Chains A and B, each alone.
Chain A
Amino acid sequence: ELKVEQNPLFLSMQEGKNYTIYCNYSTTSDRLYWYRQDPGKSLESLFVLLSNGAVKQEGRLMASLDTKARLSTLHITAAVHDLSATYFCAVDWAGTASKLTFGTGTRLQVTL
């Protein structure tokens, strides 16, 4: 069975702190996506990681992919309140972005 696990499920952190969200998956894949979702809203694409060792950064967020370990991380640097949202990783088993398997999501709450 294809499984994608995220941890933690819920993360409360203070502004200015650093933290990492982990995404583990059960079967080999070279493509992994990170999305952000605000309450009641759709999914916003953050990163597309297309190969082993891929690292992408945008502002205070940095994502990496280790296909050998079947692990992706989303690192948050010096969190700000605007980053409060739910973050999902999704694995593309077919390699065509046709069918993604999503993780459970990590609800991030950044407090002042």
Chain B
Amino acid sequence: KAGVTQTPRYLIKTRGQQVTLSCSPISGHRSVSWYQQTPGQGLQFLFEYFSETQRNKGNFPGRFSGRQFSNSRSEMNVSTLELGDSALYLCASRGVPGELFFGEGSRLTVL
């Protein structure tokens, strides 16, 4: 059974640019959530999607957005990148009874 797949794994951007990250959940899982991990702030919840609808949102500015497609794949977008957006972005796929399975992450570096 394939796990959670995130692409790209590594990317480098400059301030002011935007970035789109992709996540394919485990087959059959309809919930996808996103987390940001930084050395300073730790692991923080960004948002969660279920059946193409955003159900929960963390305390991040509007520059952070996401969406989910009918096949449950999800994308998150960060616009007008700042240095502080450098982080590991983790996607999680939810199974039953509520266990979360995380992908390998996308490591974003903003220069």
Which A positions have Cβ atoms within 8 angstroms of B?
31, 33, 35, 41-45, 48, 50, 88, 90, 92, 94-105
Contacts and interface: CB of A to CB of B under 8 A. Distances in A.
Contacts of B56: 94, 98-99
30 contacts: A33-B100, A41-B104, A42-B105, A43-B102, A44-B102, A45-B100, A45-B102, A48-B97, A48-B98, A50-B97, A88-B43, A90-B43, A94-B56, A95-B98, A97-B31, A97-B94, A97-B99, A98-B33, A98-B48, A98-B55, A98-B56, A99-B33, A99-B45, A99-B48, A99-B56, A99-B58, A101-B45, A102-B42, A102-B43, A104-B42
A98 B31 contact: yes
Interface of B: 31, 33, 35, 42-45, 48, 50, 55-56, 58, 90, 94, 97-105
Given A98-B56, A102-B42, A45 B99 contact: yes
A45 B101 contact: yes
Given A33-B99, A45-B99, A100-B100, 12 more contacts: A41-B104, A42-B90, A44-B102, A48-B99, A50-B97, A50-B98, A94-B56, A96-B98, A98-B55, A99-B45, A102-B42, A103-B42
A91 B25 CA distance: 22
Contacts of A102: 35, 42-44
Contacts of B99: 33, 45, 48, 97
A42 B103 contact: yes
Contacts of A48: 97-99
A31 B50 CA distance: 20
A17 B107 CA distance: 35
